[in-house]
Amino acid sequence: MQGTAVKKGNSPPRVFKSVITATFKEHMAYRSRMAVSVFAQPVYFLVNYFIWQAIFQIRDTVSGFTFGQMLSYFAVSSLVGFLNWDDSGNVLPMLVQTGGFITFQLRPVSHIYYSFFQKVGHRIMAFLIEMLPVVCFYIMLGINLVPAEPFWVLISLFLSFVLSFLINYTIGTFAFWFVRTDGVRRAVYLFTSICSGAFLPLNLFPYSFQKLFFTCRFSLLHMYP
Amino acid sequence: MTGENSETRTRNIRFSAAGVYIQGVKTALASRMAYRGDFIMSMLIMMIVEFGGPVITLIIYNNGASFPGWNQYEVLLLQGIFLLSRGIAFPFFMGIVWNTIGRVREGTFDLLLIKPRSILLMTVVTGFDSEDLGKLIGGILVFRYALKNLPVQPASHWVSFLILFVFSLILMFAFALFMAGLGIVWVGNYRIYDIFMSVIDFGLYPKSIFTKTFQSILTYIIPVSLLASYPASALLGDLDQSVFMALLSSVVFLLLGFMFYFKMVRNYTSAGG
């Protein structure tokens, strides 16, 4: 750990705590940007609410989902999306393009760990500014957010948090070859979003697609939590 | 003398608003071509992303569910029109938003203010987004697919559709003005797009699925229904009288957009802000 995460002379917990705190403070200055979600997410949700309300007017279930379950799925999926949101696939190419990455070679911290703990700090702030108000909105709408298996939910949330970071960071490393990676990033984002069930529950897709999606394991990002 | 006139005419064309715009498009394409592979992939992804809404519709209908009063291809037609409108707006003039936000943040918005052209024209010209042409191709494909599976429509339906489609673009431009204006005072906030995208999401589905209150809001206050629902109804010959109020509302929306944008430009304080 000492050799890979932090270079000599700095204890890892202290450095990582500092990165989390610094990121939290830095982004707190731009908290209004994050607060946009407090408006945008309920509007997105309302659109989904009306779509499924219209569909469930003529049916009781769709692929085994009731209306309430479908709404819960979209609500939980959006919250998992907030928790997992990751910018490392964008920041790393930017550092490569501007030459800023060189400075990380001189710092006594490994960039991948630095980037991960930046995400931790950023998401702690997102939890307070984005997630809590949106959770309140869902509760007001009467959406059931109580997990059936709290322990497994926590485990799957932790795994999806780490996995989303690793996927994004890996895409970011393409910048060492291609410099600009917007296209690759968008392609992977689209693929993982579909395969993870971010747009629709995977059960709604045709059986052959479901087999492919569950084999890819991206369902750990959205569907499983 | 004739040679001089011809030279003056060429010069006038080149420095007209259209001429300046074409130069902007050429420059944007040339600079994006420095990374051709990334450009082509981005455009392709933009196109595929556009299929998201229609694919969800297909999945819903394949599961035996439906939107009341609309068959699968009618909904796809509506979504095709929506994507077509977005496909024209995003590459050709919606770039004004990210261009304004980026320039205000960097401080280069001042450079546009000192150009001998309207600030609005300059932000549109320098904001041409070539990647978003993928959205246009996606929109054309969905529109074409839906049309092929619907009965042939009479010319009168096409005329009313085209008129409403122009208003759909006018509405998009009005949204762009509001967002660009916000981008001047809300420095560096690209998430303004999220607000816009969430609101126009209502336009991707038939108006009739929303409650009466929402239908009124989407027709008279923020006429999002004009983006696709009304043009699709016009093409299918199922237009109602409320369209006139929606048209009036879109014109008011555009005028308010202009007023808001130029007020924000006047309030721009550059680095002193």
CA A180/CA B1 separation, integer angstroms: 51
* Whether B89 contacts B173, CB under 8 Å: yes
Does position A221 have pLDDT exceeding 80, yes or no? Answer: no
B7-64 pLDDT, tens digit each: 787 777 777 888 889 998 999 888 888 888 878 888 888 888 888 888 888 888 887 7
Task: Give yes or no for A208 touching B (CB within 8 A).
Answer: no
Q: Which residue of B has its CA nearest to A41?
A: B198
Domains of chain A: which residue ranges? 12-220
Question: In whole angstroms, how far apart are CA A79 and each of A85, A130, A133, B31, B120?
Answer: 10, 9, 11, 38, 38
Residue A191 distance to chain B (closest CA, Å): 10
B5 falls within a domain: no
Give the pLDDT confidence score for residue A4 in this predicted structure: 54
B236 falls within a domain: yes
Read off the pLDDT of each residue in A74-99 and give the average, rounded to a whole number.
Answer: 89
Report the phi/psi class of residue A5: left, alpha or beta, with left for phi > 0 and alpha for psi in -120 to 50.
alpha
* ipTM computed for the complex: 0.81
Confidence grade of residue B272 (pLDDT, cut at 50, 70, 90): low
Record: contact A40-B198, CB cut-off 8 A: yes
Residue A194 distance to chain B (closest CA, Å): 9
Cα dihedral A139→B223→B195→B145 (10° resolution): 100
Q: Tell me which DSSP letter residue B153 carries.
A: P
A6-30 pLDDT, tens digit each: 555 556 678 888 999 999 998 888 8
- CA triplet B152, B172, A180: central angle to 5 degrees? 105
Q: Which residue has the tokens 């660009």?
A: B180
Read off the pLDDT of each residue in B72-98 and give the average, rounded to a whole number.
Answer: 93
* Whether B190 contacts B101, CB under 8 Å: yes
Task: Give yes or no for B256 touching A (CB within 8 A).
Answer: no
B177-221 pLDDT, tens digit each: 999 999 998 887 888 888 888 899 888 888 888 888 988 998 889
Two structure tokens written together for A48 = 């989904």
- pLDDT, chain B, mean: 89
Total tally of structural domains belonging to chain B: 1
Query: How many CB atoms sit inside 10 A of residue B122's CB?
Result: 22
Confidence grade of residue B253 (pLDDT, cut at 50, 70, 90): very high
B12 falls within a domain: no
CA B193/CA B86 separation, integer angstroms: 13
Query: How many CB atoms sit inside 10 A of residue A197's CB?
Result: 24
Two structure tokens written together for B104 = 């205000």
A23-71 pLDDT, tens digit each: 999 888 888 888 888 889 999 999 989 988 888 887 788 878 889 888 9
Q: Which residue of A has its CA nearest to B42?
A: A183
Residue A100 distance to chain B (closest CA, Å): 18
Read off the pLDDT of each residue in A196-217 and give the average, rounded to a whole number.
Answer: 79
Task: Give yes or no for B39 touching A (CB within 8 A).
Answer: yes
B151 falls within a domain: yes
CA A171/CA A188 separation, integer angstroms: 8
Residue B37 distance to chain A (closest CA, Å): 8
Give the pLDDT confidence score for residue B255 in this predicted structure: 96
CB within 8 A of A91, min separation 6: which ones?
A115, A172
Give the pLDDT confidence score for residue B171 in this predicted structure: 95
Q: Of A186, A200, A204, which has the smallest distance from its Cβ to B45's Cβ? A: A186
Record: contact A50-B62, CB cut-off 8 A: no
A122-139 pLDDT, tens digit each: 999 999 998 999 999 999
B101 falls within a domain: yes
B45 CB neighbours in chain A (<8 A) are: 183, 186-187, 190
A180 CB neighbours in chain B (<8 A) are: 35, 38
Terminal CA-to-CA distance of chain B, rounded, Å?
52
* Whether B142 contacts B81, CB under 8 Å: no
A150-187 pLDDT, tens digit each: 898 888 889 889 989 999 999 999 888 888 777 778 77
Residue B18 distance to chain A (closest CA, Å): 30
Residue range of the domain that includes B163 = 17-272
B237 falls within a domain: yes
Give the pLDDT confidence score for residue A5 in this predicted structure: 57
pTM of the model: 0.83
Confidence grade of residue A2 (pLDDT, cut at 50, 70, 90): very low
- CA triplet B196, B201, B205: central angle to 5 degrees? 155
Q: Of B37, B52, B63, which has the smallest distance from its Cβ to A199's Cβ? A: B52
Q: Tell me which DSSP letter residue A1 carries.
A: -
Helix locations, B33-108, DSSP H: 36-50, 52-62, 72-89, 95-106
B116-128 pLDDT, tens digit each: 889 999 999 999 9
B2 falls within a domain: no
Alpha carbon B186 to its chain centroid, in Å, reads: 21
B216 falls within a domain: yes
CA A182/CA A56 separation, integer angstroms: 38
Please report the sign of the dihedral spanned by the C-alpha atoms of residue B188, residue B189, residue B192, residue B194.
positive
Give the pLDDT confidence score for residue B174 in this predicted structure: 96
Two structure tokens written together for A91 = 């920041």
